[in-house]
A and B are shown apart, each in its own frame.
Chain A
């Protein structure tokens, strides 16, 4: 099976996961990740719903803080699922924001907690030609940013693993589905 076929066949996993994240942001204070850490989720100012896999229909896009989610919730009740959203993650007192898409779980517009600015990497090396000892401030910045991005990636993967642990267990899956339906019905 080629990659495109695989993406198309299993697109529902990403859609259901993102729908669950929206549910979590409203229904659970700070869900735990498989590694024991907790993460507080906040729905951001972008939410896109589309038809569930195999179904046809229009997309619903909700943008902006002031926009009511009523239309999106109505979309859920009509069988649509989340295709993309902006999500806030609060971990260890630090805030991350990111856009997630169901098709690839790709992270975009990822806003990281602030890091200390590095010295200007374009400044010429001091004379002498000696290799610098240890990472430079600019390299330190790269490592810090990579670590922060890693935190966000791990959190998303951890949440996905937590979702699957429920989704793939018959009993837990039935509970989860009825919780989601009840939540969708009450919005």
Chain B
């Protein structure tokens, strides 16, 4: 559910910086370089990358289908493996049990216990399929505005990070204050904006 389907939730950004020369070639090269890489057959915890806005399985970008002049429309796929606390506790205990049996009851140091916990976590990671999340990102290259179909802080951070690494441009969140500065326009209005203080509608106040 998002920009192209269902109810949309948007995080809005301004792109900081200038588009490089030969932008279209740069765009194509970089999107392919940062396309989503599957982690289905390994034990990596996280993979974040670009896919088609129509299909999270499509990383081919045939005919530069992301380019809808002046928009760049991309899907952002996030695959993540997560080991639950209870499951980790169980397998950590099994590892401890094996270690005690092998060491004939020798007491394990704190570091050894932590190492076994990490071993249990890595073993579990290789057995858990990653969960897939999909978001949409639309960049208006004329206005320099970007919409992301997510509001969660963690998703925004992932999107901001991969956008920066891919396009070497920063995303600046649009907040009321920035909109107000743009809307204020004149110097007098900007000064009034700087000096504005909160109102109260409390009835006893004049």
Contacts and interface: CB of A to CB of B under 8 A. Distances in A.
Contact of A157 (B4, B68, B183): B183
B201 A105 contact: no
Given A3-B175, A13-B176, A106 B63 contact: no
Interface in B158-178: 173-177
B198 A108 contact: no
Interface string A170-187: 100000010011001100
Contact of B151 (A3, A106, A112, A145): A106
B124 interface: no
Contact of A139 (B10, B68, B196): B68
Contacts of A6: 175, 177
Contact of B203 (A10, A105, A121, A181): A181
A52 B200 contact: yes
Interface in B98-130: none
Given A19-B201, A106-B11, A157-B183, A13 B62 contact: no
Given A142-B4, A143-B68, A167-B196, A181 B175 contact: no
A138 B68 CA distance: 11
Most-contacted residue by chain A among B183, B196, B201 (CB, 10 A): B201
Interface string B58-102: 000011010010010100000000000000000000000000000
A30 to B, nearest CB: 21
Contacts of A106: 9-12, 151
A135 to B, nearest CB: 7
Contacts of B197: 12
Contact of B179 (A16, A138, A160): A160
B138 A125 contact: no
Contacts of A78: 202
A54 B198 CA distance: 9
Contacts of B203: 77, 181, 184-185
A91 interface: no
A53 interface: yes
Contacts of A141: 4
Most-contacted residue by chain B among A141, A157, A168, A177 (CB, 10 A): A168
Interface of B: 3-5, 7-12, 52-55, 62-63, 65, 68, 71, 73, 138, 147, 151, 173-177, 179-180, 183-184, 189, 192-193, 196-203
17 contacts: A3-B173, A6-B175, A77-B202, A79-B201, A104-B173, A105-B175, A107-B12, A108-B9, A110-B10, A142-B4, A145-B5, A153-B12, A167-B196, A168-B193, A168-B196, A169-B192, A184-B203
Q: Which 3 pairs, one residue from A and one from B, show the smallest C-beta to C-beta distance?
A: A121-B54, A79-B202, A12-B198
